[in-house]
Amino acid sequence: MGIHKELLDILACPKCKGEIHLNEEENGLICDECKLLYEIKDEIPILLIDEAISID
Residue 56 — very low, low, confident or very high, per pLDDT cuts 50/70/90? confident
Cα torsion 46, 40, 32, 56: sign:
positive
Q: Look up the CATH number of the domain holding residue 28.
A: 2.20.25.10
How high is the mean pLDDT of the chain? 93
pTM of the model: 0.89
3-state secondary structure of 28: strand
Q: Domain limits at 33? A: 5-54
User: pLDDT tens digit string along 13-31?
Assistant: 999 999 999 999 999 999 9
Number of domains in the chain: 1
